[in-house]
Amino acid sequence: MGKLKNSMRKITKKNLMTYICLAIGFVIIQSCSAGGLLTFQIKGLLVPVCIYIICAVALNLVVGISGELSLGHAGFLCLGAYGAAIFSKITNGLIPDPIRFLLALIIGAAVGALFGFLIGIPVLRLNGDYLAIVTLAFCQIIQNLLNVFYIGVDKHGLHVAMQDPTKLELEEGGQVIVKGAQGITGTPKDANFIIGIILVFITLFIVLNLIDSRTGRAIMAIRDNRIAAESIGIDVTKHKLLAFTISAGLVGMAGALYSHNLATLTVAKFDYNTSILILVFVVLGGIGNIRGSIIATVILYVLPELLRGLQTYRMLIYAIVLIVIMLFSWAPGAIAFRQRIMERLKNRGKGVQ
Amino acid sequence: MSFFSYLINGVGLGSVYAIIALGYTMVYGIAKMLNFAHGDVIMIGAYIVFVAMTSLGIPALPSLIVAMIFCLVLGVVIEKVAYRPLRNAASKLAVLITAIGVSYLLQNIALLVFGPNPKSFSNIVKLPPVSIGGINISSTTLVTIAASVVIMLVLTFFVKKTKPGQAMQAVSEDRGAAGLMGINVNGTISLTFAIGSALAAVAGALMCSSYPILDPYTGSMPGIKAFVAAVFGGIGSIPGAMIGGILLGIIENLSKAYISSQIADAIVFAVLIIVLLVRPAGLFGKNVQEKV
Amino acid sequence: MKNWKRFTAIVAAGAMALTMAACGGSSSGNTDNTDASSAAQASSAGEAAAPGQAWYIGGIGPTTGGAASYGLAVKNGIQLAVDEINAAGGINGYPIEYAFQDDEHNAEKSVNAYNALKDWGMQLLIGTVTSTPCVAVEAEAEADNMFLLTPSGTSVDAISGANAFRLCFSDPNQGVGAAQYIGEHNLAKKIAVIYDSSDVYSSGIYEKFAETAKEENLEIVCAEAFTAQSNKDFTTQVQKAADAGAELVFLPIYYTEASLILQQCAAMDYAPLFFGCDGLDGLLGVENFDTSLAEGVMLLTPYAANSDDPLSVAFTDAYKAAFNNETPIQFAADAYDCVYAVKQAIEKAGATPDMSVSDLCEALKTAMTEITFAGVTGEITWEADGEPNKTPKAVIIENGSYKML
């Protein structure tokens, strides 16, 4: 019993460390910002970094904790962004800004979670690479359909049409909100770093608590051995679906933040490359390692920006760095090599003492 | 009448997917990894053929052989440097991400070496179109189909009947046990990449002959589509890749023709999802029973 | 414990990456400066000028990724004009410092590029190259009240603020222009459209074209789409156009896909009239392209690489000399003109580089509406909303080169 308590405390301690590290990081950045030490470039990166941290932590819930490979999270990001942006465009000026933005965030999360649930039901029966390809397929379908999707609003309310804006049949004075491939423009810019970091905390709180809960342990049991988990009475479908839905909801919320950070929103951005980008953060940070996801996101998102001076060689260097880091952090050979070095350092430290 | 020409054109597109999917499925079947860089090896192969034919004036066939050798070496080097160290990594995803890194790397190398401007590829098949029942079928399509069939048969024969092929099967089945039986696992996987990458050069040349535009990103989307085709047919299955590719091309063109060209992509992917839900291992895939 | 090990490993890897990045970062300033100063040295200005003593002009566009050919064309076009102006003594006696940043044709990256340029000291922006990023950057620039002139951002929202102007035609403008031209010259009655439904430029033109075609009594017999995911095989779209009896195929797309459509039409023995917009410019420049396929293609473009207009000829020759004998596409011409338009506006306003970004913007905003600019892409005046007034030139491809209509 005491042992169990001890291990529980260890987990809480570990989580607490994550929160504290994040809070310290936030305070440092805020004070630098107040002191005028940050460049425009770094300031501009703060909100996108928060968005991708949320995505990476949420995807880690699916990839690391639930053990399923999803290549469709860009689709949820897109749906959340669209849902929130449409809401904000319609209600802009009708509701006070902070309340509208809060509602938009909730709507983004709700849209993401709803589609995560709907897509999860059929999809989670598959596993491994087949699950990956089916989620990728859903992402492509979402992209393709939103490209020919038009929404307008006039006195009579919302009009929805496919393929052709003239089919909206708007009255005089009506406004087209979603214009097919041209997407949504002019969403109010409500996002800022403080809101971003609050959402990161909320995400962490949800994910870390889920992992440490009874449900979380059930999900991990399914990941480790589905049949064994099933045999002790764990409802496999329910738990997998739960993790997938929560993950999609959090990514949808990140999408809402995304659409309120840029003046333009088009589906072209949310292709499989974005899904893969988030997956890169997760894998590099350590599968199942939430804190790792945060660190990897910060490094990998900021890296190409810092490489701007290399001009046309920038993305080439980025690709090489990506491969090298992957080899360095994952290859069994490199891990053994690192451990040898660490041991030698430790021994030397002892020797000096 | 139009139906037949839609169908024939669908087969033409499908044959391109098929020939790419063969390389994909080969590598996946043996090395058990999604080689996201395969589409970019195709692009590099196409560039080599282009440079050899257009800038150096070498005839089509020798150019193709040069490209095959180049891609073969490239594939083996990529496997050795980027994939092999991660083969026993704690997660399969590590090598997937590295493959993505290699894909970015190849694209950016091509961008720097060959420039961003698209180039028009010279058809390597210089034969007149064949007319069957009043419908013209381009000879490139016929050659691509013939090439995919030949490659499919040769690969099947190679894997089933020859010694290195059987070694591949063994490695695919159980890598550890194959090693214990004295099979050179590293060598076998290298050989797989060599064959897969040399096929990529052929696929690149034929794809760019059918659709003669070439830029550093030419390979990535057909690569994904071919991957879908391979999954469709049951990834790892050689005849499955061939049939999956052709079916994908036909479905894509018929849905453009009879449903809507605006949402053709969505329809193609919806069909894929339905197939996978009904047959989780694809049309020709082996359903592996899970053991406790 | 295991987690901790991994954690330290990641931190180590991260630290490595960061140090590398930091090296890159610190050298970044240097490379930029040397780039700029080498440009300046070529001119009479000599050493890189201090802020306030030179015009800091920034540019943004894709130099990597699928749209890289457009971004690099703009980058080179601006470079050429900047070098020429610096060699001739600068603007109002001050040299130009020029930096161009990559945005990968991605709105998010474009804003990052904009912020990086602000750190560099940018006073005015020529960009961005593509529409979607331009909308995002324009929102930032409007908040900063920074002057923005886009060479090729065609969507309506790309210049939504009072600070923004464009040199090219807008999407609706091109759609209307094309439909009117076809109607007025009675080119055809039955029209097919093949457009990219996943692209802002293409779908923007198509929408307006469809509207105006109705007014011009043109019948659109089929409107077929493709997407960035399936942009190789157009046989079905072409077949449908042929079956519908279209006499003219309207192609509001870029030349890469158009070259495939032309080739596939030829293979099917379908030979309608082809009509395109400025995106088709560049078709003849595709290396190894069989130009006989493009014979008879008509397009509305502000600039044609081998026309006999003396300004165009001079620009084309200078561009070829500076950049490995590459034939400039219309993007390069637009960018080149942007720099000279900015020069004329600065001279008109009598501005100096020590003005604040916002003051400069106010001065240029007024000056832009007062100038009449004569450049490679024609004679242009600007409205206060940023839209250019210029007449589109229709050209036809004959014997492998453009001919004015």
A32-76 confidence digits (pLDDT tens):
988 888 899 999 999 999 999 999 999 999 999 999 999 999 999
Does A186 share its domain with A77? yes
Gap from B87 CA to chain C (nearest CA, Å): 19
Residue-wise pLDDT tens digits, C305-326: 666 778 888 999 999 999 988 8
Task: Name chain B contacts of A125, Cβ cutoff 8 Å.
Answer: 277, 280
The closest alpha carbon to C401, from C286, C314, C308, C284, belongs to C284
Does C195 share its domain with C291? yes
Cβ-in-10-Å burial (0-12, 13-18, 19+) of C382 comes to buried
Task: Name chain A contacts of B281, Cβ cutoff 8 Å.
Answer: 130
| pLDDT-above-90 percentage for chain A | 56
Gap from C232 CA to chain B (nearest CA, Å): 6
Computed over every residue of chain A, the mean pLDDT equals: 89
Give me the sign of the Cα torsion angle C351, C357, C362, C364: positive
Report the pLDDT value the prediction gives residue B101, as an integer from 0 to 100.
94
3-class DSSP assignment, residue C323: coil
Domain that holds residue C213: 172-301
How many domains, in total, are found in chain C?
2
Gap from B94 CA to chain C (nearest CA, Å): 14
Report the pLDDT value the prediction gives residue C16, as an integer from 0 to 100.
44
Residue-wise pLDDT tens digits, B104-135: 999 999 999 998 889 999 888 888 888 877 77
A237 to each of A137, A243, C56, C63, C376, how far by Cα in Å? 21, 10, 60, 46, 65
Cβ-in-10-Å burial (0-12, 13-18, 19+) of A350 comes to exposed
Q: Under an 8 A CB cutoff, do C235 and B138 touch?
A: no
Q: Under an 8 A CB cutoff, do C259 and B6 touch?
A: no
What's the rounded Cα separation, in Å, for the pair C103 and A74? 20
Among A269, A292, A315, the domain boundary falls at A292
Contact A290, A209 (CB under 8 A): no
Gap from A289 CA to chain C (nearest CA, Å): 7
Cβ-in-10-Å burial (0-12, 13-18, 19+) of A226 comes to middle
Gap from C85 CA to chain A (nearest CA, Å): 23
Contact B102, B39 (CB under 8 A): no
Given a cut of 80, whether residue A170 has pLDDT beyond it is no
Report the pLDDT value the prediction gives residue B236, as an integer from 0 to 100.
81
Among C244, C266, C301, the domain boundary falls at C301
B residues 147-206 near A, CB within 8 Å?
A: none
Report the pLDDT value the prediction gives residue C219, as an integer from 0 to 100.
92
Given a cut of 60, whether residue C184 has pLDDT beyond it is yes
Cβ-in-10-Å burial (0-12, 13-18, 19+) of C335 comes to buried
* Partner A contacted by C233 (CB < 8 A): no
Q: Under an 8 A CB cutoff, do A332 and B89 touch?
A: yes
What does chain C come to in residues? Answer: 405
Q: Under an 8 A CB cutoff, do A130 and B277 touch?
A: no
* Partner B contacted by A126 (CB < 8 A): yes
Contact A244, A124 (CB under 8 A): yes
CA angle C324, C330, C332 (to 5 degrees): 50
- Do the strands C219-226 and C273-276 form a parallel or antiparallel pair, or are they unpaired? unpaired
What lies within 8 Å, CB to CB, of A46 at 6+ separation is A29, A193, A196
Gap from C397 CA to chain A (nearest CA, Å): 30
Residue-wise pLDDT tens digits, C164-173: 999 998 998 8
Q: Would residue B78 count as lying in a domain?
A: yes
Q: Would residue C26 count as lying in a domain?
A: no
Q: Which of A264, A284, A338 sits opposite C136 (nearest CB)?
A: A264
Report the pLDDT value the prediction gives residue B28, as an integer from 0 to 100.
86
3-class DSSP assignment, residue B108: helix
Does A19 share its domain with A87? no
Per the model's pLDDT, the better-predicted residue between C40 and B237 turns out to be: B237
Mean pLDDT of A142-165: 84
Given a cut of 60, whether residue C26 has pLDDT beyond it is no
What's the rounded Cα separation, in Å, for the pair A16 and A103? 29
Q: Would residue A42 count as lying in a domain?
A: no
CB neighbourhood size of C231 (10 A): 19
Residue of B nearest to C203 (CA): B262
CB neighbourhood size of C215 (10 A): 11
Given a cut of 90, whether residue C123 has pLDDT beyond it is yes
- Chain C residues interacting with chain B (CB cutoff of 8 angstroms): 63-66, 68-69, 71-72, 197, 224-233, 235-237, 239-240, 243, 255-257, 259-260, 263, 267-269, 285-290, 326
What's the rounded Cα separation, in Å, for the pair A288 and A292? 9
End-to-end CA gap in chain C: 76
Task: Name chain A contacts of B99, Cβ cutoff 8 Å.
Answer: none
Given a cut of 50, whether residue C19 has pLDDT beyond it is no
CB neighbourhood size of C318 (10 A): 16
Q: Would residue A65 count as lying in a domain?
A: yes
Does A54 share its domain with A161? yes
- Residue B288 binned pLDDT confidence (cut-offs 50, 70, 90): low
Residue of B nearest to A138 (CA): B269
Per the model's pLDDT, the better-predicted residue between A172 and C239 turns out to be: C239
Report the pLDDT value the prediction gives residue C2, as an integer from 0 to 100.
43
Residue of B nearest to C71 (CA): B116
Strand partners, C396: C298, C403
Cβ-in-10-Å burial (0-12, 13-18, 19+) of A346 comes to exposed
Does A29 share its domain with A55? no
Q: Under an 8 A CB cutoff, do C289 and B257 touch?
A: no
Per the model's pLDDT, the better-predicted residue between B174 and B110 turns out to be: B110
Q: Under an 8 A CB cutoff, do C230 and B121 touch?
A: no
Q: Would residue A322 count as lying in a domain?
A: no
What lies within 8 Å, CB to CB, of C335 at 6+ separation is C59, C73, C74, C75, C76, C77, C78, C81, C126, C151, C152
What's the rounded Cα separation, in Å, for the pair C169 and C161? 17
Does A140 share its domain with A288? yes
Which of the 8 DSSP states describes residue A286? -
> Do you find a cis peptide bond into C128, omega within 30 degrees of 0?
yes
Computed over every residue of chain C, the mean pLDDT equals: 85
Q: Under an 8 A CB cutoff, do A130 and B269 touch?
A: no
Does A26 share its domain with A56? no
Given a cut of 60, whether residue C7 has pLDDT beyond it is no
Q: Would residue B165 count as lying in a domain?
A: yes
- Residue B44 binned pLDDT confidence (cut-offs 50, 70, 90): very high
Residue-wise pLDDT tens digits, A245-276: 999 999 999 999 999 999 999 998 898 889 99
Q: Which of A43, A165, A295 sits opposite C14 (nearest CB)?
A: A295
What's the rounded Cα separation, in Å, for the pair A140 and A142? 5
Domain that holds residue B29: 17-127+136-217
Q: Would residue A300 count as lying in a domain?
A: no
Does A7 share its domain with A133? no
Does C191 share its domain with C285? yes
How many domains, in total, are found in chain B?
1
Report the pLDDT value the prediction gives residue A350, as an integer from 0 to 100.
65
Cβ-in-10-Å burial (0-12, 13-18, 19+) of A148 comes to buried
Residue-wise pLDDT tens digits, C322-379: 998 888 888 999 999 999 999 999 999 999 999 999 999 999 999 999 999 998 888 8
What's the rounded Cα separation, in Å, for the pair C178 and C184? 10
The closest alpha carbon to B79, from B95, B67, B64, belongs to B95
Report the pLDDT value the prediction gives residue C112, as an integer from 0 to 100.
94
Report the pLDDT value the prediction gives residue B139, as an integer from 0 to 100.
87
Contact C36, C121 (CB under 8 A): no
The chains found to touch C (3+ Cβ pairs under 8 angstroms) are A, B
Q: Which of A122, A133, A163 sits opposite B228 (nearest CB)?
A: A133
Q: Would residue B158 count as lying in a domain?
A: yes
Report the pLDDT value the prediction gives residue B289, as an integer from 0 to 100.
57
Q: Best interface-test mutation with B: which of A59, A78, A130 has the largest number of B CBs within 10 A?
A: A130
Q: Would residue B33 count as lying in a domain?
A: yes
Given a cut of 70, whether residue C12 has pLDDT beyond it is no
Mean pLDDT of A166-172: 75
- Residue C251 binned pLDDT confidence (cut-offs 50, 70, 90): very high
What is the amino acid identity at position B194?
A
* Partner A contacted by B271 (CB < 8 A): no
Q: Would residue C146 count as lying in a domain?
A: yes
Report the pLDDT value the prediction gives residue B290, as an integer from 0 to 100.
55
Cβ–Cβ pairs < 8 A, chains A and B: 127
Q: Would residue B269 count as lying in a domain?
A: no
Q: Would residue A119 count as lying in a domain?
A: yes
Given a cut of 80, whether residue C35 has pLDDT beyond it is no
Q: What share of chain C is helix, strand, coil (3-state, %, to 5)?
A: 50, 20, 30
The chains found to touch A (3+ Cβ pairs under 8 angstroms) are B, C
Please report where in the chains the tokens 């109705």 appear, as a residue.
C214
Q: Would residue B170 count as lying in a domain?
A: yes
Given a cut of 90, whether residue B66 has pLDDT beyond it is yes
Given a cut of 90, whether residue A282 has pLDDT beyond it is yes
CB neighbourhood size of A121 (10 A): 13
Does C82 share its domain with C134? yes
Q: Under an 8 A CB cutoff, do B221 and C267 touch?
A: no
How many domains, in total, are found in chain A?
2
Residue-wise pLDDT tens digits, C71-110: 999 999 999 999 999 999 999 999 999 999 999 999 999 9
Report the pLDDT value the prediction gives residue C13, as an integer from 0 to 100.
45
Per the model's pLDDT, the better-predicted residue between C355 and C28 turns out to be: C355
Which of the 8 DSSP states describes residue A163? S
What lies within 8 Å, CB to CB, of C42 at 6+ separation is C83, C86, C87
Contact A207, A57 (CB under 8 A): yes
Domain that holds residue A2: 1-35
Does C144 share its domain with C239? no
Does A264 share its domain with A230? yes
Report the pLDDT value the prediction gives residue C8, as an integer from 0 to 100.
45
What lies within 8 Å, CB to CB, of A199 at 6+ separation is A50, A54, A105, A253, A254, A257
Q: Would residue A277 count as lying in a domain?
A: yes
Does A134 share its domain with A12? no
- Residue C46 binned pLDDT confidence (cut-offs 50, 70, 90): very low
* Partner A contacted by C1 (CB < 8 A): no
The closest alpha carbon to B267, from B279, B277, B280, B257, belongs to B257
- Residue C34 binned pLDDT confidence (cut-offs 50, 70, 90): very low
* Strands, E assignment, chain B: 119-120, 130-132, 135-137, 213-214
| pLDDT-above-70 percentage for chain C | 87
The packing angle between helices C131-144 and C107-120, to 10°, is 40
Q: Would residue B236 count as lying in a domain?
A: no
- Residue C45 binned pLDDT confidence (cut-offs 50, 70, 90): very low
Q: List the structure tokens of C243.
A: 């079956």
Contact C319, C77 (CB under 8 A): yes
Given a cut of 50, whether residue C162 has pLDDT beyond it is yes
CB neighbourhood size of C344 (10 A): 19
Q: Best interface-test mutation with C: which of A277, A306, A321, A325 has the largest number of C CBs within 10 A?
A: A306
Q: Would residue B257 count as lying in a domain?
A: no
Q: List the structure tokens of B163.
A: 């010694």
Give me the sign of the Cα torsion angle B253, B255, B256, B257: positive
Does C157 share its domain with C201? no
Residue-wise pLDDT tens digits, A75-117: 999 999 999 999 999 998 888 999 999 999 999 999 999 999 9
Contact B209, C264 (CB under 8 A): no
Among A275, A292, A309, the domain boundary falls at A292
Report the pLDDT value the prediction gives residue C86, as an integer from 0 to 100.
95
Given a cut of 80, whether residue C225 has pLDDT beyond it is yes
